[in-house]
Amino acid sequence: MKLPDLAELAVRNLRESLLRNSLTTVGISVGVASLVAMLSLGIGLQQLASRRLMKSGLFDTVLVTSRRDLRNFGREEERGGPAPAESRTLDEPTRIEIEHLPNVLEAYPDIRFITELRYEDKPHLTTIAALPASAKSNDAFETVQGQFFSSDMAPEAILQKTFAEELLGRTPKPGVDETNVAELAAPLLGKELTMRYAQREAAQSAPSATAHDNAAAPGAESLADAAYSVVSRELKLKIVGVADLDPESMRGPTRARVFLPLKLAESLHVMQPTDLREISRAATDQPVYSSVSVRVNDPNQVRKVEDTIKKMGFNTFSILDASRSIQQFFKVLYAFLGIFGSLALVVASIGIVNTLVMAILERRREIGIMKAIGASDSDVKKLFFAEAGAMGLLGGVVGVALGWTIGQAINLGTNVYLKSQSFPPEHFWSVPWWLVAFAILFSFGVSLISGLYPAARAARLDPVQALRYE
């Protein structure tokens, strides 16, 4: 029998016992709805999580280091890369070259040093890091008390909450941290800090003792140039902001307690720990960086950019792997939610089996007639299959609509609750088109499987027996 005929006969048969078939279809719809509801919740939560993570600026950043940097030896990223001998120096032209790679938004040197800050004549030793202007839109600095740097060269500082506490002489209570950042910031904003630091300066003096370290590294430059002097300097900084960051959860540039604008930090030529190894470069005009952070315009492009930079002869690191394990977690979550959702569908599919078996009993004679006038086993089988499939398809469509509605309702309800708790509304509910397609196909498939047994039973029905009794 041809497909249009099958479909037509199936639909007319379903209409014959409308109530029973409708109830079965409703059962499927509820199953599909619960599946859709579960999965869309999972997907929505994942999207929420990854939106948050993307905003944190962690997932679109690649950290580039030179292969000469001995700290990186033995790191996993290094395997298969070129030997340190052929590696390149991470200097300003390289930084510009990286910045011009496709999909790269910016590439900025990581400047980080430990130095002394004086506040009201009391010295505090701390780690200072430079922030690029783009960090302003970073989620981590969105909540800053006060404001972001007025310019990239401004002698201004943003403090980490813990450092602000230290300056004010408060010790955070262990355990629950309920410090109000605004309260901390109020007495500090606009105040002055004095930073003492060591500046490198080109000099003609003899190589220092540490030059021996450098000699061990292959491809070292002539020791004749390898000279600089260290000059002690002071800089006054204005406190413009206090950031509420959890330093432990942060990586990369935010792992510091005081932040300076990037251009300002660069211009200071602060002596950094890595300078000892790049000692020969200290004399040249071009700065050499120990590491450069590269921001990529799309987290999906991170891997590609990383590969390109690796080919240039550098080591790279990104938190892509971390994001992958988060994805892993959500896969498991999907599986769980999916299994619970499918359970309802399985129960519904037992309803299909029941309905079709009932239909066979009821339509014994009809099946006998059809066989007597020439229907083959496969015609009868296909007809029951088509009926199961039609119920599955209809149940799937209705179920998706139902599931979507339930989801909207939950979303709405939760947001009303969030609002009452004065949280911003969140969109943690998502029904992507593929889920719609999947749910309908799944429902169709499950229904066909449910139809297997009834269809086979109907097909094997002996027409003589079926026609024998009234």
Partner 1 sequence: MSSTDRSARTSTAMIATPAIHAEQLCRHYRMGETLIRAVDGVTLSVKAGEFVALLGSSGSGKSSVLNLIAGLDRPTSGSVIVQERDLAQLSREELARYRLHTVGMVFQSFNLIASMTLAENVELPMRFAEVERGKRDSLAREALTRVGLQGRMNHRPSELSGGEQQRAALARALINRPQLLLADEPTGNLDSHTGTEIMNMVREFNQHLGMTVVMVTHERALAERYAQRLIFLADGKLVGDESNSAVNAADQAGVGGGRP
Nearer of residues 375 and 446 to partner 1, judged by Cβ: 375
416-443 burial string, b = 16+ CB within 10 Å, else e?
A: eeeeeeeeeeeebbbbeeebbebbbebb
If binding is defined by CB under 8 A, does position 362 make contact with partner 1? no
Q: What are phi and psi of 32, to 5 degrees?
A: -60, -40
Residues in the interface with partner 1 (CB under 8 A) total 26
Instruction: List alpha helices for 56-187, DSSP H.
Output: 92-99, 139-142, 161-167, 181-185
Residues 166-205: x where in contact with partner 1 by CB under 8 A, - otherwise, as a string: ----------------------------------------
If binding is defined by CB under 8 A, does position 12 make contact with partner 1? yes
Q: How far is the CB of 43 from partner 1 (least distance, A)?
A: 44
User: Among all chains, which residue has been given the structure tokens 């510091």?
Assistant: 256
User: Among all chains, which residue has been given the structure tokens 């040197």?
Assistant: 109
The correct pick among 132, 252, 395, 463 for binding partner 1 (CB under 8 A) is: 463
Nearer of residues 14 and 98 to partner 1, judged by Cβ: 14
For partner 1, the binding residues in 223-252 under the rule CB under 8 A are none
Nearer of residues 57 and 463 to partner 1, judged by Cβ: 463
Instruction: List alpha helices for 363-376, DSSP H.
Output: 364-372
For partner 1, the binding residues in 368-387 under the rule CB under 8 A are 368-379
CA pair distance 226, 203, nearest whole angstrom: 9
CA pair distance 98, 92, nearest whole angstrom: 10
Q: Which runs of E-coded beta strand occur in 300-365?
A: 314-318
Nearer of residues 321 and 362 to partner 1, judged by Cβ: 362
Query: Strand pairing of 145-146 and 228-243?
Result: antiparallel
CA pair distance 139, 131, nearest whole angstrom: 14
Residues 107-146: x where in contact with partner 1 by CB under 8 A, - otherwise, as a string: ----------------------------------------
Choices 71-79, 245-253, 396-404, 462-470; region in contact with partner 1 by CB under 8 A: 462-470
If binding is defined by CB under 8 A, does position 13 make contact with partner 1? yes
Q: How far is the CB of 357 from partner 1 (least distance, A)?
A: 19
Q: Position 48: which residue type?
A: L
Q: How far is the CB of 12 from partner 1 (least distance, A)?
A: 7
Say if residues 6 and 390 touch (Cβ distance below 8 Å). no
If binding is defined by CB under 8 A, does position 366 make contact with partner 1? yes
CA pair distance 181, 203, nearest whole angstrom: 45
If binding is defined by CB under 8 A, does position 7 make contact with partner 1? no
Q: Which residues bind partner 1 (CB under 8 A)?
A: 1-2, 4-5, 9, 12-13, 16, 365-366, 368-379, 463-464, 467, 470
